[in-house]
Every structure is written in structure tokens, then in C-alpha cells.
Amino acid sequence: ADIAVIGGSNDDAFWNIIKKGIDDATPGVVANGGSVNYLRLVNYDNFAPDVVQLIRTAISMEVDGLVIPNWVPEAEDPAIKDAIAAGIKVILMNAGGADKATELGAINYVGSDEYVAGLAGGEYFGKGGQKNVLCINTLPGASNTEARCKGVIDGVTTAGGMGAQLPLPTTSFGDATAVAEAIKAELLKDESIDGVITISAGDADSAAIAVDQAGKSGKTLLGSFDMNQAGLDRIKGGTQAFAIDQQPYLQSFLAVSLLAAHIDFGTDLPVFPVLTGPGIVDASNIDATLAGVAKGAR
């Protein structure tokens, strides 16, 4: 089966782990005479139109199957319906959810949900007794990052605390110091902040410094969405509380394998939806995670 997978930007670490899952699933597809094509956004600047453009590109390639995150339902749904109408089998991955899959006629949903992942993070803070959590959004306005922060805020609120989002202007995107100093400033200004979570693993590097600089190590817990080596090192060293992991490797590996088997052999998985996360990586499971990281799968 010829399968197209649509994914996030080239320089986004998360979507490179997705690529690892795809690469590992590809030999199986190729062995049965198929191919896998990973279509990625160049950047998140023109998000919805670019995603839809990729769906259309996949349709034009006349693939048999499509693995697609449903990030912006209003925009993507018509295109996904067109794909299904053109006879393409679709699996939603990473974003969308079971209800959406049913509604669109996709064969399954593999993944987690940005909002649910955020919720899990918020609850983790709540359990730890954190009362005032700040969600650092370095890409304000993008729907996936907004959903993450919204989930965190809702999670903390249900647990009896409160949360807020800190949107950073584009002038600080990619400048680790500007991000760090912005977080530090907020921590200095509002003494009661006892939890900080960043929407990406890279921003957590800045946040860790900011917490330290504000003199609040130990008092303010740090969490992050997604993870990188430096973040895991911090978790192991105790300067970061946790990272929310969607286990992206599983998402793409399972989605591609399930879809190929469905098209080639007519198999169906009774599990619906297939949830790969959110998994929380903290001191309790850090060693196993580090082993996976070494192989590029986490």
C-alpha cells in the first residue's frame, strides 16, 4: 500500500521521533510492495492552509492510505472527507480523537490529544500541591499550543489551583535568553507562582535557568511538553519534575502498520481508539525512558 503521513515542521524534535516510528514501520510496508511518504510542514507560520495543502498534495499523489493529525478540524475536515471520497483509507494520528474519526469515517485514531495531555500535566501539578501554574507559550495563536496550555490551566483549576498562560511575542521566539528572562521576570513579579510548564522541550531549557535564576529552585516545579536529552537529564538530576510524553514513536509506528495491514490484508484492530499517551516521564520511570532515547525512539 502507498501511504502518506503528514507531520509537523522539519525542525520540530517531536516530529523527528514520529519519523523514527515511520522509518521503522516502512520496511514492513515495502516488503508488501508499498511505499511510505512523510510530508512535513516547512514551518507553522501559515498553519491551517499549509496542512490542508499537504492533504491535497497527498490526494494528488493517489496514495492508498493517509495518516493525518486533525489539528484544525474546521479547515481539515473537508479535505479529509475528499480524501475518503477518493477511496483513500484514513487514520487520524496525534490530534483528532475517536469521535472525530467516527464522524469523518476514518478507520481509527492513534494518539493522544493536546488538550488531554495538558489536562494530565495540570493534574500532575495539582497532585503535587501546586497552586499557581504558568504555561509558557512561545507560539501564541497556534491552535495546538493553545490547547496544551488550556488543558494545563483546566487541569490545575479542577485540582483546586489556578493557572495562566504567558504568551511571548514573536520577537523572543528562538532566543533562549529572551524566553528565560521573560519567565524569570514573571516569577519575580508574582511570588506565588509555584509551577511552570513549557509547550516545548527546548523552552524548558530556558525555563530551568529562569527558575534557578529567580531563586526558586525546589519551590517552583518545572514541567514540559515533549522531551529532549537535556530535559531528561534534568529529571534525573531533580531540577525538572516531569515531561509529558505522547510517545510519538508508537503513534506513527502503529498508525502506519495498522493502516498498511488494513489496506493490504483487510485486518481490523478492535481497539478503538488507540491511545499512546499521555505518558508522564518523571523520576519514577526516567531510566527506562533514557534507554529509549538513546535509540531515537523517545
Partner 1 sequence: MSRTFSFGALARRPEAGAALGLFAVLIFFAIFGGVTFLKPSGMASWLNVAANLGVIAIPLGLLMIAGELDISVGAMVPFGAMTVSVISGHYGLPIWMGIAAALSFGVIVGLVNGFLVIRTAVPSLIVTLGTLFAVQGIVLGLTVLITKSTSVALKTEGVAKVMFGDFVLGGQMQVMVLWWLGLTALYVFFVHLSPFGNWVFAMGGDKVSARNAGIPTERLTMVLFVLSSTSAAFVGMCQAILYNSAQVAGGQSFIFNAIISVVVGGVLLTGGFGSVIGIFFGTITFAIVTQGIYYTDFDRNWSSLIIGVLLLGAVLMNNTFRKMALSYAPKKGGK
From the list 5, 106, 166, 199, which residue makes contact with partner 1 (rule: CB under 8 A)?
Answer: 166
The side-by-side arrangement of strands in the sheet containing 274-275 is 35-40, 2-7, 65-68, 89-93, 108-111, 274-275
Interacting positions 68-87 with partner 1 (CB under 8 A):
72, 74-75, 78, 82
The set of cell numbers assigned to 139 is 507560539
| 287 is a contact residue toward partner 1 (CB under 8 A) | no
Specify the residue, 89 or 184, whose C-beta has the smaller distance to partner 1. 184
Binding mask 115-154 for partner 1 (x = CB under 8 A): ------------------------xxxxx--x--------
Binding mask 175-194 for partner 1 (x = CB under 8 A): xxxx-xxx-xxx-xx-----
Interacting positions 232-261 with partner 1 (CB under 8 A):
233
| 171 is a contact residue toward partner 1 (CB under 8 A) | yes
Contact in structure between 256 and 29 (CB atoms under 8 Å): yes
SS3 for 203?
Answer: helix
User: Strand ranges (DSSP E) for 30-161?
Assistant: 35-40, 65-68, 89-93, 108-111, 132-137
The least CB distance from residue 5 to partner 1, in Å, is 11
| 39 is a contact residue toward partner 1 (CB under 8 A) | yes
Helix (H) or strand (E) holding 50: helix 47-60
| 218 is a contact residue toward partner 1 (CB under 8 A) | no
Q: What is the C-alpha to C-alpha distance for residues 262 and 111, in angstroms, rounded to an integer?
A: 18
Specify the residue, 169 or 218, whose C-beta has the smaller distance to partner 1. 169
DSSP character at residue 170: G
The least CB distance from residue 272 to partner 1, in Å, is 27
